Amino acid sequence: MMDLAAAQKVLKTVFGYDEFRPGQRAVIEHVLAGDNSLAIMPTGGGKSLCYQIPAMLFDGITVVVSPLISLMKDQVDALNDSGIPATFINSSLEWPDIQERLAALHGGDYKLLYVAPERLDSAAFVNALAQLPIDLLAVDEAHCISQWGHDFRPSYLALSTAIEQLPTQPQVLALTATATEQVATDICQQLKINPNNEVNTGFARDNLDLTVVKDQDTDRYILDYLKVNQGETGIIYASTRKEVTRLTKMLTGQHIQAAAYHAGLPDDERRQNQEDFLYDRVQVMVATNAFGMGIDKSNVRFVIHAQVPGTLEAYYQEAGRAGRDGLPSEAILLYRASDLQIQRFFIDQSEMDEQHRLRSYRKLQIMNQYANTQNCLQQFILRYFGEESEPCGRCSNCRDDREAQDVTTDAQKVLSCVVRLRSRYGKGIVAQVLAGAHNQRIRENHLEDVPTYGIMRNQRQKTVGELIDFLTAAGYLASVGGQYPTLQVTSKGVGVLKGETQVFRKMARQAKRLAPEDDAL
């Protein structure tokens, strides 16, 4: 067993840092003790050092499995610049080049070898690895191994078999910034990590202010934001390439230095745009979710999602790219219920199996709840990752000083309608029934005869839908099922129906038009 003093020394002499960041010491201790371990730290928390420092202390080689092929060269160059002998092998290299690197690894020229997970699918490559003195296998973005996660990559499944084939039986360090308890358990099982060797520094990012903005004009909002935050660097995420292109044009048309990034752009253009952003030649990167994994740009001040993403994990990971330097930063979600359709479309179109599809719908519902909750946004996210916390005091909900209004009567109307409909319908139909809509679906199912039909006909269907979203996010209703979820009243909702619980909701300002005496109505 090596001692921590040696690690501390490498931290200082090789990397130039005086102190470990939270979690780093504990993880390195596990690694130096020879345990397989799992490190869960937020983006920017300093996961790389957790394997780079042990790599410098071990006699043999540390193999880093990372899905970020496009960044491997940069990462390795940066290490070489700091005097750390590292190299990479991925699909961008020709076979002779690969052999040359393997020979150099044999000769002890390198401490670190970065590989893409796809490499491990190749028996020839695993064979070549088996000839090397490998001490440690670091698995970056380890959540990709789990089908419960939001970014499952089948090639990660080859990892455990590959490890078994290595005669040196290297120890494993899995690292991720995004893992629900279920995903963490899955990682531990697959990579044979004792759950006691999990180091979790928590997911909270105290320098990140979360905001949800509803139903605003996207272009107007973004332009106003950029005007107020002049010169600050940020990322704007959109769901489709088309919207990325449109937003980029819109911004450059307003003389804002913006570049686009999505998988449909030619390689060289994409790379160029990425570099322009990394080296501050453009202010704003407009991108699909293809952009960002592993991007170590520290001074990103804001991440705006112009459209709602498909999962809360993806959202938090993308949002977390703001403020890696620890300075105050903003993550803003521009929400429109209609944008959920895009994500539903993606799920419908994808080739995942039925179980996975259901899970994706479920995740989208949770994302929708995040957008509609009136409780602390950070608390909502942390709870999703299995962590209890106090309200953050910074997010748009914590800052929302509108007075909550008693909406118990309306809530009771919605809840009793759901009961009357025997929990067989989803939000759309329930809102239509309450608002007294006339259409074929209503007629065919004889829903005009339901006792609660039209009891909210003085309100717009959209408004009723928003109330349903609110009641769902607040836990009075549950949205159950996959593609066509149905609404059910929860036990909390039953309390409202029985008159035991009141429901309070902060309402949009314009809803306060009523004169005080009208409130009694």
Least distance to ligand ADP, CB of residue 158, Å: 23
Residues β-bridged to residue 486: 480
The answer to whether residues 212 and 51 touch, using CB atoms and an 8 Å cutoff, is no
Q: Report what 376 binds from ligand ADP, Zn ion, none; CB cut-off 5-8 Å by kind.
A: Zn ion
Q: Report what 14 binds from Zn ion, ligand ADP, none; CB cut-off 5-8 Å by kind.
A: none
Contact map string, positions 294 to 313, toward ligand ADP, x by CB under 6 A: --x-----------------
Q: Report what 398 binds from ligand ADP, Zn ion, none; CB cut-off 5-8 Å by kind.
A: Zn ion
Query: For residues 179 and 244, which CB has a smaller minimum distance to ligand ADP in the complex?
Result: 179
Q: Report what 148 binds from ligand ADP, Zn ion, none; CB cut-off 5-8 Å by kind.
A: none
Q: Which residue has the tokens 């909210």?
A: 456
- Cβ-proximal residue to ligand ADP, closest one: 46
The answer to whether residues 169 and 135 touch, using CB atoms and an 8 Å cutoff, is no
Rg (CA), the chain: 26
Least distance to ligand ADP, CB of residue 41, Å: 5
Of 105-124, binders to ligand ADP (CB under 6 A) are none
Query: For residues 321 and 505, which CB has a smaller minimum distance to ligand ADP in the complex?
Result: 321
Query: For residues 15 and 221, which CB has a smaller minimum distance to ligand ADP in the complex?
Result: 15
Query: For residues 16 and 451, which CB has a smaller minimum distance to ligand ADP in the complex?
Result: 16
3-state secondary structure at position 40: strand
Residues β-bridged to residue 335: 214
3-state secondary structure at position 147: coil
Query: For residues 3 and 325, which CB has a smaller minimum distance to ligand ADP in the complex?
Result: 325
Of 36-65, binders to ligand ADP (CB under 6 A) are 41, 43-49
Q: How far, in Å, are 90, 134, 174, 204, 300 from residue 118 at the CA level?
A: 8, 19, 17, 32, 30
Tokens coding 180:
């629900």
Q: How many residues does the chain have?
A: 521
E strand intervals along 85-142: 86-89, 112-115, 134-139
Tokens coding 74:
């940069």
Least distance to ligand ADP, CB of residue 175, Å: 7
Of 309-368, binders to ligand ADP (CB under 6 A) are 324
What is the DSSP secondary structure assignment for residue 392, as one 8-state letter?
-
Q: Report what 44 binds from Zn ion, ligand ADP, none; CB cut-off 5-8 Å by kind.
A: ligand ADP
The answer to whether residues 262 and 290 touch, using CB atoms and an 8 Å cutoff, is yes
Q: How far apart are CA 459 and CA 407, in angstroms?
A: 14
Residue 444 phi, psi dihedral angles, 5° rounding: -60, -35
3-state secondary structure at position 286: strand
Query: For residues 15 and 152, which CB has a smaller minimum distance to ligand ADP in the complex?
Result: 15
Tokens coding 130:
């088996």
68 binds ligand ADP (CB under 6 A): no
Query: For residues 51 and 156, which CB has a smaller minimum distance to ligand ADP in the complex?
Result: 51
Q: Report what 49 binds from Zn ion, ligand ADP, none; CB cut-off 5-8 Å by kind.
A: ligand ADP
Residues in contact with ligand ADP by the rule CB under 6 A: 17, 19-21, 24, 41, 43-49, 296, 324
